Amino acid sequence: MSLAPWAKRTPEEANLFNPALLGLLASEFIKEFSKAKGAPCPFALPFCALPIALHCKTRASLPATTVTSLYTWRERNPEALVGYADRAKSLRPAVQEAIRFCMDRGALEVASDGGLKLGKVPVSATKKFEFTLTRDAQECISAARLLGRWFAKAGTTSTILAAWGIKP
Amino acid sequence: MSMTIKQIVLYSHTGEQRPLLFKSSCLNVITGDSKTGKSAIIDIIDYCLGRGSCNVAEGVIRRSVSWFGLEVENDGSALFIARKNPGPGTDAGSEIYVRRGSFDAPPEFADLARNLSEGELVSLLTRFIGISENEHRPQSGTRLPLEATIRHALFLCFQKQDEIDNRDRLFHRQGDQFIPQAIKDTFPYFLGAVDEEHFLKQHELDTAREALRELEQRASRQQEQRNIDLGRARRFVNDGKRVGIVPQDFEPAQVDATIRVLTAASQVELSNAAALPDFGDTINRLRDEQSTLRETLYRVTEDARTARLLFSERSAFSREVSEQRSRLSSIGLYRNEADEREVCPVCDSPLTVPTPGTSHIRAALANVSTQLQAVEIEQPHLQRHIEELEAKKLQLEKELVDAQTALVRAIAEDERARAQHDALLERARVVGRIGTYLDGLHPDQTEQDLTPLIEAARRRVEGLEAAINADDAAQRLDTYLNIISKQMSEFAKGLDLEHSGSELRLDLKKLTVVADTEDGPIPLNRMGSGENWVGYHVLTYLALHWWFRRRKRPVPGILIFDQPSQAHYPADRDQEGSLDPLEDKDRHAVQALFELMHAACSEMEDLQLIVLDHAHLTDPWFEDAIVEEWRRGRFLVPPHWDSRPN
């Protein structure tokens, strides 16, 4: 599955999942992940995290803090996995585009180990900017930050992917 | 395939690793001196597979190991479990780390951090070995239903040093409280005598029984209502006489006649001219006015509702567009601008779909902002319209209340009209009561006849009962135990045991092995000598796993024996594992025991049999089976790990 050129996309879909927003979410996720882990973020994780942050129902069921372990939470919220694989699959090209979008602008770059890290001109949502947003968009940003910290504590990439039902 | 152990990895406090690799699906022997750590193997594996307490003996292992790691494999997928050593003096630790997926090396010491709790470890492992939902329902109903987990499967996988030669206990932990019952309850499931479907059907049967009970209750309620009580009927006749809808000379003596009269009374037309004399012009006019007002009010309310709906649709649209605008506005955070790019920034290869440029996003943002403004300009008109309608509604309501008051006053003024009005009300009340009573007597046509439904429900319950006949499961269990007992007798041929020529039988009720001889049945605890006890333990476990593997049951394909040769080759006679110091009879017995285990392993494809023993046979197949030999300074835990020299 791949995206249509920008001009030919359905306006609603193009606007709601535009690369500037997705790039911002990916950057916030990677920032928090790297801060907690002290290492660049594995390339696969934004593809796992963004569908969670963007899905209203899953977002609402996320824990308040990272004290609850990923596996514990998943055992308590089995419904979070329903439709997750499809959402992750259909969002994949948009996330790819967002990462390219950020690289074109120097907001993200590839680290020496193949992971992702913030670039020379990073993007980050300021308090003042967030204030201008709708509630939905604000929640997406804070979910992306939480997921960054949370995934950093959950073990290896394959353990995280397995918890979301993706075979390593 | 079934679950097997790939390796045990111990971590020292300084982060050093001590791996102990096992070969999958064949005989694995660890031979060595006493006190080298052999017996701890079972406890370490048991702890890593979710045991509540850590039973590794106090000593050097408890002191110098920081984490116990275990890597297991099932059908190509690997799982690494590490549990923190609770340390000397305590027996439970809550720190558990798991890692899914295949890797070349065990996790780094620095990576070990809690990411799972104990209960979840058990449920994860239970699913990992392939136990699907199941539940044992005790017939008596005094015990809670029991769900089989990996913990129950493991009773069938271990034999510790003091268990393998125990004549009273056949199974692992059979001496602990509640364990024997748990073994008996889950055994039919592990053998395959009851399957997962059994429990699904059991649930279906419960539901069907419940439905049948409900239908029967409804039927009996209907029956009750039909029973006619003449006393009650007489009361209604009297009421009817009082308001003049039953002839005054009627005497209720017979049920049929009474019902007929009451039926006629309940059909009296209340509003016909004879029953309702003229109220006068004022009252009629007021009534008309009232109904006109009501109609207008209804129309206005409807209009207001439609307008409000339209308004909310508009705001939904504007909310949606605001969301788009908000999400597009992220573009403002990027300090660098870039045009549409047709190459990938990572690999420089051309893209089929170019990455949108800054200008695209800005254009989309400008577009939705314009749309949003247009909507906001239009909204006030609609809002004013709604306000007007609301005001009109309020006015109408007030007028209606006025009309009502006027009407009440008019009726009050007309003494005659009021009396008529009361009589009419009373009459209507009696007619209503009689109607309800009669409805109860003759259930009308819409009330279903429940008989065919009950019949169908009863057939369904019977069908389900037949399908999950408990006798059936018991019969299947007997058959399977029979087959397993035959295999035990087959394995027994190689060993020179007392009663090995007679029929052997696994007694599930008493959890023991029985030899059926001409002198009557002899259970394990009445047989003599340690070698018999060890022999029958080994036979039972091998035969059970032979069955589990054959039927692909979800029991781990792991079998661990701790010192099966102890009856013939006690630790104090150990000389470098050689059998030479033994008498002929003992030497043959040890040889035969190991040959049986070797043969059983070759026969069963996916059984991993781990034997911890002193003996070291000289046969080439035995040499092949040795995983490690712990003598001359080689131990489970490297000596330099121990911080406390002793």
The residues in A 80-119 lying below 8 A from B, measured between CB atoms, are 97, 100-101, 103-107, 110
What is the Cα B275 distance to its own chain's centre? 68
Q: Are B357 and B341 in contact (CB under 8 A)?
A: yes
Least confident of A100-104, B271-275, B483-487, B527-531: B271-275
pLDDT in tens, B44-92: 999 999 888 888 888 888 888 999 999 999 888 899 999 998 877 777 7
The per-residue pLDDT for range B548-580, each reduced to its tens digit, is 998 888 899 999 999 888 888 877 777 777 888
Instruction: Provide the residue count of chain A.
Output: 168
Q: In this model, does residue B443 exceed pLDDT 60?
A: no
What SS3 class is residue B221?
Answer: helix
Averaged pLDDT for residues B3-7 = 92
Grade residue B445 by pLDDT with cuts at 50, 70 and 90: very low
* Alpha carbon B605 to its chain's center: 32
Average pLDDT over residues A133-157: 90
Partnered with residue A116 across adjacent β-strands are A41, A110
Q: How many CB pairs under 8 A join A and B?
A: 145
Is A158 close to B100, i.e. CB distance below 8 A? yes
ipTM entry: 0.86
pLDDT-based confidence at B20, cuts 50/70/90? very high
In this structure, are strands B27-32 and B608-613 parallel, antiparallel, or unpaired? Answer: parallel
Pick the closest to residue B495 from B437, B558, B542 (CA basis). B542
Residue B278 has pLDDT above 60, yes or no: no
For residue A138 the two structure tokens come to 């604000």
pLDDT at B274: 46
- What is the pLDDT, as a whole number, of residue B196? 64
pLDDT of residue B575: 76
In this structure, are residues B552 and B75 in contact, taking their beta carbons and an 8 Å threshold? Answer: no
**Res B146: pLDDT:** 61
Distance (Å, whole) CA B641 – CA B11: 10
Contact B86, B92 (CB under 8 A): yes
Residues of A in contact with B356 (CB under 8 A): 6, 18-19, 97, 101
Smallest CA-to-CA distance from B536 within B575, B578, B492 is with B492
Q: Which chain B positions have a beta carbon within 8 Å of A137's beta carbon?
A: 323, 326-327
**Full DSSP string of B489-511:** HHHHTTS--TTTTSEEEEETTTT
Give the three-class secondary structure for B486.
Answer: helix
Which helix H or strand E contains B512, and what residues bound it? strand B512-517
- Output the pLDDT for position B276: 47
Surface of A (48-67) touching B: CB under 8 A: none
Measured between alpha carbons, how far is B479 from A60 in angstroms, rounded to an integer? Answer: 53
CA distances from B309 to B131, B298, B316, B578 (A): 54, 17, 10, 93
User: B575-579: long-range contacts at Cβ-Cβ below 8 A with a sequence spacing of 24 or more?
Assistant: B576/B616, B576/B631, B577/B31, B577/B32, B577/B614, B577/B615, B577/B616, B577/B629, B577/B631, B578/B616, B579/B615, B579/B617
Contacts of A21 in chain B (CB under 8 A): 327-328, 330
**Residue B593, H or E segment:** helix B584-603
A129–B333 CB contact, under 8 Å: yes
User: What pLDDT does residue B356 have?
Assistant: 86
CA-based nearest residue to B158, from B148, B167, B170, B147: B170
CA dist., res. B247 & res. A19, Å (int): 88
Q: What would the pLDDT profile of B508-536 be if each residue is shown by its tens digit?
A: 888 899 888 888 888 888 887 777 888 88
**Once rounded to an integer, what is the mean pLDDT over residues B311-326?**
82
B275 pLDDT band, cuts 50/70/90, is very low
- The pLDDT assigned to A24 comes to 93
Token duo for residue B207: 């539901």
Question: What is the four-CA torsion angle of B127, B130, B132, B138, rounded to 10 degrees?
Answer: -100
Q: With 60 as the cut, is the pLDDT of residue B161 above it?
A: yes
Query: Closest Cα partner for B545 from B530, B561, B566?
Result: B561
- SS3 label, residue B283: helix
Q: What average pLDDT is seen over chain B?
A: 82
Q: Which of A91-100, B251-260, B302-311, B380-389 has the highest mean pLDDT?
A: A91-100
A156 and B CB contact within 8 Å: yes
Choose the closest CB to A155 out of B115, B330, B341: B115
pLDDT, greater one: A15 or A168: A15
Q: Give the gap in angstroms from C-alpha A77 to the nearest C-alpha of chain B.
A: 13
Cβ–Cβ below 8 Å for B322 and A134: yes
Q: What percent of chain B has pLDDT over 90?
A: 13
Which has the higher per-residue pLDDT, B167 or B413? B167
Is residue B183 a contact partner of residue B152, using CB atoms and an 8 Å limit? Answer: yes
Interface test with B, best of A1, A68, A71 (most B CBs within 10 A): A71
Q: Is the pLDDT of residue A111 over 60?
A: yes
B14-31: average pLDDT: 90
Checking if the pLDDT of B141 tops 50, the result is no
End-to-end, the C-alpha distance of chain B in Å comes to: 45
pLDDT the model gives residue B19:
92
For the segment B78-107, the average pLDDT, to the nearest whole number, is 85
**Predicted pLDDT at B437:** 79
Quick one: tokens of B145? 């239903």
Both structure tokens of A30: 């990677």
Nearest CA-CA distance, residue A155 and chain B, Å: 7
* Cα–Cα dist B414/B418, whole Å: 6
User: From the CA of B631, how many Å to the nearest CA of chain A?
Assistant: 38
CB atoms within 10 A of CB B274: 6
Interface contact flag, B327 A21, Cβ < 8 Å? yes
Under the banding of pLDDT at 50, 70 and 90, the label for residue B418 is low
For residue B273, pLDDT beyond 50: no
Closest Cα partner for B50 from B111, B135, B113, B128? B128
Q: Are B614 and B35 in contact (CB under 8 A)?
A: no
**pLDDT the model gives residue B138:** 54
Confidence class for position B139, pLDDT limits 50, 70, 90: low
What is the least distance, in Å, from the CA of B345 to any CA of chain A? 6
Residues in chain B: 646
Alpha helices (runs of H) in B165-254, residue ranges in sequence order: 179-191, 196-226, 230-243
* pLDDT at residue B364 is higher than 70: yes
Report the pLDDT value the prediction gives residue B199, as an integer from 0 to 100. Answer: 65
- In which band, very low, low, confident or very high, does the pLDDT at A81 lie, cut at 50, 70 and 90? confident
The reply to whether residue A100 touches residue B355, judged by beta carbons under 8 angstroms, is yes
Average pLDDT score over chain A: 87
Are B100 and A162 spatial neighbours (Cβ–Cβ below 8 Å)? yes
Strands B158-159 and B558-562: parallel
- Per-residue pLDDT, B457: 87
For the beta sheet containing B503-507, the strands, ordered from the edge strand earlier in sequence to the opposite edge, are B503-507, B512-517, B520-523
Which of B378 and B305 is assigned the larger pLDDT?
B305
Testing the interface with A: which of B118, B125, B324, B330 to mutate, by most A Cβ within 10 A?
B330
Minimal Cα–Cα distance from A4 to chain B, Å?
Answer: 7
Asked if pLDDT for residue B455 goes beyond 50, the answer is: yes
Cβ contact A12–B324 (<8 Å): yes
